[in-house]
């Protein structure tokens, strides 16, 4: 029961798609509509929240979760068991008129079903991974069965027969496992996971079809899944446990035989220092999520907007000269109370958007587990800090990059077991995933103990591609950063050459668009660590208010190192312009913020103005501003797509007087300065 070497699998092309499908809307399917009307009411009850809930994970995730459909049928298994004649692709490919009639008449209902189902699958997947670790825990089986049953029931109520049929088969398997008639091991977990995959595909496909897009060929996948489920059930019921329905207790006694000891489990999802009993203590926390309600994020945004305005008005009133002229103890007390309450309200409204990063980590855990099996590399996955909260949008957006990094680690970072042993490392590799706070940021680490980056090979590859000059000898850290360069990873052979780098530029871009940063630390032979640094939320920013011309701008405080009024002897001129500033030992480039941005290039005398030293991506520059006003926490607003191509500006903030101040983007500014000097050169 150790690492299951999955036999070479052939991917069965989704062979006969629609032709067979249209041919027969099966008798079962046509019988369905009768049952529809009464049940539909029930579905509505389930589907209570009125807001059109945006599907939580739509395509991007779905396509990442299942990029390698080589989970497809194992041919040698299919051979002895001839598929029953009743199992035709057409059973799982029902034409739209038959199965989409209900959801087509009520698009909201359809979307709700999809969103709910995908939500349930998220839960199921997480529980399955736990089950993989502790197959003896029957309560997990119940936790898996229940949401599965709900999805099946909803599909049936809505008349989406293809989904219902597949779900029904998998549910059978779960039910048998629940009643102890079949034993749960890695194979069963695998199969149910695959079931979730296939159903996710099918349900997403329902969404596409509702949107008027052509259906995808999911029939073959569905058939092969159902066949496998039937095979497994048959095999287990014949040769396995003979007692028809033993009580749940015996299983727990039986289980150790199936999965003898912790270290033999093919995949260990472990939290350092967390004992199994503590893990069960965590359950209530998970249960707590069930009491949550779904709210359209636009409603949340509206609350945040209005609360922001409330704060502005509150401070306008508090500072109103007419009011401050009144000296009245009670008024002062009430005003102070009002201020506290509004501040509290703002904090709370911001917190509405915060969710634990767990959801993203679960996706990564799944990817690591699948890849580990497929590549035959036994891996321990260590997860810490999955309760770390950050903005919901961030959790959603960071999931893809994290999965990508994890995939990179497993695919290219971790060596095959024999190589590891030859190098004196334990055959089982460790990938760790952790999240923790650091100031107003969250740090997420994806760490492996694999081979590390091969500096020399990256250098060669980069030279060949012309990313660096042939004679350049950059520092190792700079070499490693090259894997994030767009040109680096496009060539097909890159993975072989560099060991890493498929689409890492995309990862970096996605993270930077979240105002975050990604770094890599690596030690040859010891492994690599991706370090992702993200702001807690995209909604609030600690800013430094500066005046540029007639406008006030907000510089993110995190990027500001210091501010100073330089002495004349510290400003150095180039071609008659103040172009450099000496700050203690180092000489930094000096530019006027207004002229970099293109906001009226006023020639400022640095010695009469203020210089703000900004550090970004390791390089520091001095920005000349008219005035440094004060520090302020601001609510970040997007300027909208209309200003998407404005560089150096990250958004807008509503300032104390209700006006908007531009939020500057230090990274963009530093890049612009660098490009500017390159153009001049």
Partner 1 sequence: MSTGTAGRFQREELVGKYLTFALGNEEYSVPVLKVREIIKIMDITAVPQVPEYVKGVVNLRGKVIPVVDLRLKFGFPAADYTERTCIIVVEVALSTGARMMGIIVDHVSEVLNVTAEEIEQTPQFGDEIQTDYMKGIAKVRGQVKILLDLDRVLGVDGTIAMPQPSAA
Residue numbers at the binding site for partner 1 (CB under 8 A): 304-306, 308-309, 550-551, 591, 595-599, 601, 637-649, 651-652, 654, 658-662, 672, 676
What is the DSSP secondary-structure string of 294-308?
---HHHHHHHHHHHH
3-state secondary structure of 483: helix
In order of 47, 375, 440, 627, the CA distances from 362 in angstroms are: 25, 20, 24, 47
Residue 302, judged by CB atoms within 10 A of its CB (0-12, 13-18, 19+), counts as: exposed
| 10 or 638: CB nearest partner 1 | 638
Q: How far apart are CA 306 and CA 571, in angstroms?
A: 46
8 A C-beta contact, residue 234 and residue 226: no
Phi, psi of 299 (to 5 degrees): -65, -40
User: Shortest approach of partner 1 to residue 310 CB, angstroms?
Assistant: 9
Q: Is the Cβ of residue 473 or residue 550 nearer to partner 1 in the bound state?
A: 550
At a CB cut-off of 8 Å and minimum separation 6, what does 444 contact?
357, 398, 402, 433, 434, 435, 531, 532, 534
Nearer to partner 1 among residue 450 and residue 606 (C-beta) = 606
What whole-number distance in Å separates Cα of residue 29 and Cα of residue 155? 13
Cβ closer to partner 1: 147 or 543? 543
Contact status, residue 134 vs residue 262, Cβ threshold 8 Å = no
Contacts 24+ apart (CB under 8 A), 443-446: 443/531, 443/532, 443/533, 443/534, 444/357, 444/398, 444/402, 444/531, 444/532, 444/534, 445/529, 445/530, 445/531, 445/532, 446/364, 446/402, 446/405, 446/406, 446/409, 446/529, 446/530, 446/532
**Minimum gap (Å) between residue 206 Cβ and partner 1:** 24
Closer to partner 1 by Cβ: residue 58 or 305 = 305
Closest to partner 1 by CB, 459 vs 673, is 673
Shortest spacing between CB 673 and partner 1, in angstroms = 8
- Residue 640 CB, shortest distance to partner 1, in Å, is 6
The answer to whether the beta carbons of residues 544 and 557 sit under 8 Å apart is yes
Residues near 559 by beta carbon (within 8 Å), at least 6 away in sequence: 614, 615, 616, 666
Distances from the Cα of 126 to the Cα of 129, 133, 366, angstroms? 5, 11, 8
Separation in Å, CA 430 to CA 133, 159, 266, 375, 415: 16, 45, 13, 14, 11
Which residues, in sequence order, are bridge partners of residue 444? Answer: 435, 532
Largest CA-CA distance found in the chain, in angstroms, rounded? 94
For partner 1, the closer CB: 520 or 593 = 593
State in angstroms the smallest separation of the CB of 660 from partner 1: 4
Output the smallest distance, CB 422 to partner 1, in A: 54
Residue among 162 and 314 whose Cβ is closer to partner 1:
314
User: For residue 429, what are the β-bridge partners?
Assistant: 379
Between 257 and 680, whose beta carbon lies closer to partner 1? 680
- Give dist(CA 551, CA 553) in Å, integer: 6
Nearest in space to 45 (alpha carbons), one of 109, 99, 122, 106: 109
20 or 672: CB nearest partner 1: 672
Q: Report, in Å, the least distance between residue 314 CB and partner 1.
A: 13
Q: Give the three-class secondary structure for 607.
A: helix
Q: Are 345 and 307 in contact (CB under 8 A)?
A: yes
- Report, in Å, the least distance between residue 400 CB and partner 1: 21
* Cβ closest to partner 1, residue 19 vs residue 603: 603
CB of 666 to partner 1, least distance (A): 15
Nearest distance, CB of residue 113 and partner 1, angstroms: 24
Q: Could you tell me the smallest distance in angstroms from the CB atom of residue 656 to partner 1?
A: 12
Rank residues 467 and 655 by Cβ distance to partner 1 and give the closer one: 655
Contacts of residue 628, defined as CB under 8 A and 6 or more positions apart, other chains included, come to 544, 545, 546, 547, 563, 610, 612
| Closest approach of partner 1 to the CB of residue 592, in Å | 8
Of 441, 370, 311, the residue nearest 193 (C-alpha): 370
Q: How far is the CB of 663 from partner 1 (least distance, A)?
A: 11
Looking at residue 478, the DSSP 8-state letter turns out to be H
Token pair 């980590």 is found at 361
Nearer to partner 1 among residue 237 and residue 655 (C-beta): 655
| Smallest gap from residue 676 Cβ to partner 1 (A) | 5
Report the residue number, 179 or 315, with the smaller CB distance to partner 1.
315
């Amino acid at each position: 029961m150790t690492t299951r070497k999955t036999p070479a699998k052939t991917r069965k092309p989704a062979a006969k798609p629609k032709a067979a499908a249209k041919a027969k809307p099966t008798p079962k399917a046509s019988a369905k509509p009768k049952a529809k009307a009464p049940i539909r009411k029930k579905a509505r009850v389930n589907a209570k929240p009125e807001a059109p809930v945006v599907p939580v994970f739509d395509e991007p995730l779905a396509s990442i979760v299942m990029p390698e459909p080589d989970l497809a049928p194992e041919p040698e298994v299919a051979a002895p068991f001839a598929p029953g004649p009743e199992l035709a692709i057409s059973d799982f490919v029902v034409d739209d008129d038959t199965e989409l009639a209900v959801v087509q008449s009520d698009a909201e209902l359809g979307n709700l079903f999809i969103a709910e189902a995908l939500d349930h699958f998220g839960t199921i997947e997480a529980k399955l991974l736990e089950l993989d670790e502790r197959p003896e825990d029957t309560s997990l089986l119940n936790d898996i069965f229940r949401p599965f049953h709900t999805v099946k029931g909803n599909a049936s109520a809505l008349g989406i027969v293809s989904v219902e049929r597949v779900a029904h088969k998998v549910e059978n398997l779960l039910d048998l496992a629940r009643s102890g008639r079949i034993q749960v091991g890695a194979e069963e977990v695998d199969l149910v996971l695959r079931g979730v995959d296939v159903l996710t595909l099918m349900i997403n496909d329902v969404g596409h079809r509702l949107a008027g897009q052509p259906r995808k060929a999911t029939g073959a996948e569905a058939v092969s899944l159902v066949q496998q489920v039937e095979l497994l059930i048959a095999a287990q019921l014949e040769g396995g446990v003979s007692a028809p329905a033993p009580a749940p207790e015996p299983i727990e006694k039986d289980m150790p035989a199936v999965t003898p000891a912790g270290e033999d489990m093919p995949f260990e999802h472990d939290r350092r220092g967390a004992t199994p009993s503590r893990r069960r203590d965590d359950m209530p926390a998970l249960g707590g999520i069930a009491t949550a309600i779904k709210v359209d994020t636009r409603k949340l945004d509206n609350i945040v907007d209005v609360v922001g305005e409330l704060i502005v008005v509150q401070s306008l009133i508090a500072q109103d000269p007419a009011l401050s002229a009144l000296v009245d103890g009670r008024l002062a007390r009430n005003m102070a109370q009002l201020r506290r309450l509004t501040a509290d309200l703002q904090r709370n409204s911001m917190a509405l958007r915060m969710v634990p990063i767990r959801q993203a980590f679960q996706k990564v855990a799944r990817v690591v587990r699948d890849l580990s099996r497929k590549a035959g590399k036994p891996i321990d996955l260590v997860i810490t800090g999955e309760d770390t909260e950050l903005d919901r949008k961030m959790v959603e957006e960071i999931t893809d990059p994290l999965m990508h990094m994890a995939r990179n680690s497993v695919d290219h970072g971790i060596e095959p077991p024999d190589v590891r042993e030859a190098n004196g490392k334990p055959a089982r590799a460790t990938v760790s995933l952790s999240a923790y706070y650091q100031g107003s940021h969250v740090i997420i680490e994806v760490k492996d103990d694999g081979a590390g980056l091969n500096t020399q090979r990256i250098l060669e590859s980069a030279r060949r591609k012309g990313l660096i000059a042939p004679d350049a000898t950059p520092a190792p850290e700079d070499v490693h950063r090259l894997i994030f360069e767009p040109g680096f990873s496009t060539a097909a052979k890159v993975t072989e050459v560099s060991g890493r780098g498929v689409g890492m530029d995309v990862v970096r871009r996605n993270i930077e668009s979240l105002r975050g940063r990604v770094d890599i630390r690596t030690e040859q032979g010891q492994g690599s660590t991706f370090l992702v640094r993200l702001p807690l939320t995209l909604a609030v920013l600690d800013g430094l208010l500066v005046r540029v011309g007639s406008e006030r701008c907000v510089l993110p405080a995190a990027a500001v190192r210091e501010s100073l009024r330089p002495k004349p002897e510290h400003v150095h001129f180039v071609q008659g312009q103040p172009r450099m500033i000496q700050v203690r030992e180092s000489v930094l480039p000096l530019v006027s913020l207004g002229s970099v941005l293109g906001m009226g290039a006023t020639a400022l005398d640095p010695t009469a103005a203020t210089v703000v030293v900004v550090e970004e991506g390791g390089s520091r520059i001095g920005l000349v501003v008219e005035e440094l006003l004060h520090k302020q926490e601001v609510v970040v607003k997007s300027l909208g797509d209309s200003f998407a191509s404005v560089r150096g500006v990250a958004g807008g903030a509503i300032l104390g007087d209700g006006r908007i101040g531009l939020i500057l983007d230090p990274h963009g500014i530093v890049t612009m300065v660098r490009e500017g000097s390159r153009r001049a050169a």
